Amino acid sequence: MCFNKNLEKSPAITKILMEYLTQATREIKRRADKGEGKEILGEVINRPEDIEIGIDRVGEDILERLVKKHKLSIKVYSEPDGRDIEVGGEPDFYGAIDPFDGTVLYLRGFEHNWYTALGFFDKDKKPLASGVADILRDKIYISDESGNFMIDGKTGAKTRLFPSQKKDLNGQVVIATYLMSPRYAVKFWDAFADLAKNFHPKTLLYPQGGSFIYSFLAAGLIDAYVMFDEPRSEIDPGYGFAKNAGCSVVSVNIDGTFEDYQFIPGRQHDKVDLLVAACTPELRDQLIRQCVGKTV
C-alpha cells in the first residue's frame, strides 16, 4: 500500500524523520540520565493535567536545526503554546511534534513510557510519514510509503508491523486509554463500567495513551484506543501510523455518527469529544455503541 505518493517528491522528509528520531533518542536519554530538564517552563494550553518542562525543548531544537539543514519550507506544530517551528515561506509541508511524551512521569521520577513523536503532512493535510522513538528501549517506529516498521537501535534489525484483526469486545481484547489522570479516567469508566463486569478475564486495559499509542495500534500490541476530550496535539504526531495500517480513527458525535479524523493545521490545542481508534470497523462500531449516550 502506498501511504502517500507525494512522499516520493521529498526524500528529505524521510531523512529528517530518521535523523530526528535517532538524534532525539540519544540526546534526550543523555540529559535524562543526568536528571536534567526538570525545570517547569509553563502550562500546556487547555491541558491542566500537563506542564512544559525543560526536556520538552530538546526535540524541538533538534528538529528546527534539521529542517533548516535540509532547506524545507515547513510549519511544525508543537504541544506548548508559542513553540511552533516555521522555516521558509509558504509551507510545502506541515508537521506535528510531541517532543517528549511522558513529561509528568519523568518529572516525578518514573523511568517509564518516555517517547518522542513526529508526523509530517503534505499541503493537502494528508499524512506523509510518522515516527515514534521509544527512548528507554532504544526502539524506533517508522511509518512511510513502504509500510510500518520497528527498528532496533542496538542491532539495526528492522521488523515490519501489522495491526490486529480483532472484531469484537467479547474476546481477549486489548484497549488503551489514559487512566493516570482522574479527569480522563472518570469518563472512561462512566462509559465502560457495565461492560467491565463482563469483560473476558484476559482482557487487558493498557492505561497509557498519547501520540506514541498509534505505533502500538499499527503493531498489533493494542486493538483499540478510546479517549474522551483527547487533545489534537496528542493525535497528530502519531496518527499516520494508524492511517497507514488501515485502522479506523474517528471523532464521534453525540448521536453516534462519526467522521474520519483529519489533521487541521493550527488546531492542535482543540480537543476531540470522543476519539475512537480501532484495528477494524467492526470493533470501532462496538466501541462507539458502548460510549454513546453515556458521557459523550
Question: What does the pLDDT average to over 41-55?
Answer: 70
Q: Helices 182-196 and 281-291, interaxial angle, to 10°?
A: 100
pLDDT over 70 at 48, yes or no: no
Amino acid at 256: G
Mean pLDDT calculated for residue range 71-91: 82
Q: Which residues pair with 47 in a beta bridge?
A: 44
Nine-digit cell string for 62: 533538534
In single-letter form, the type of residue at position 5 comes to K
* pLDDT band per the 50, 70, 90 thresholds, residue 2: very low
> pLDDT (tens digit, 9 = 90+) per residue, 249-262?
999 998 999 999 99
- What count of residues does the chain have? 296
Judge whether 212 and 96 are in contact, CB under 8 Å.
Answer: no
Q: Whole-angstrom Cα distance, residue 279 to residue 262?
A: 17
Cα separation, 210 vs 205, whole angstroms = 15
Confidence of residue 90 (pLDDT cuts 50, 70, 90): confident
Whether the pLDDT of residue 275 is over 60: the answer is yes
Q: How many CA atoms lie within 13 A of 107 on its CB side?
A: 17
Pairing of strands 174-176, 224-231: parallel
Give me the phi and psi of 225, to 5 degrees please: -135, 125
What is the C-alpha R_g of the chain? 18
Summarize pLDDT for 154-210 with one digit per residue, the tens: 999 999 999 999 999 988 899 999 999 998 999 999 998 888 888 888 899 999 999
**Position 59 confidence tier, pLDDT thresholds 50, 70, 90:** very high
The band of 85, judged by pLDDT with boundaries at 50, 70 and 90, is confident
Q: Residue 34: which residues within 8 A CB-CB, separation 6 or more?
A: none
CA pair distance 16, 75, nearest whole angstrom:
14
Distance linking the first and last C-alpha atoms of the chain:
34
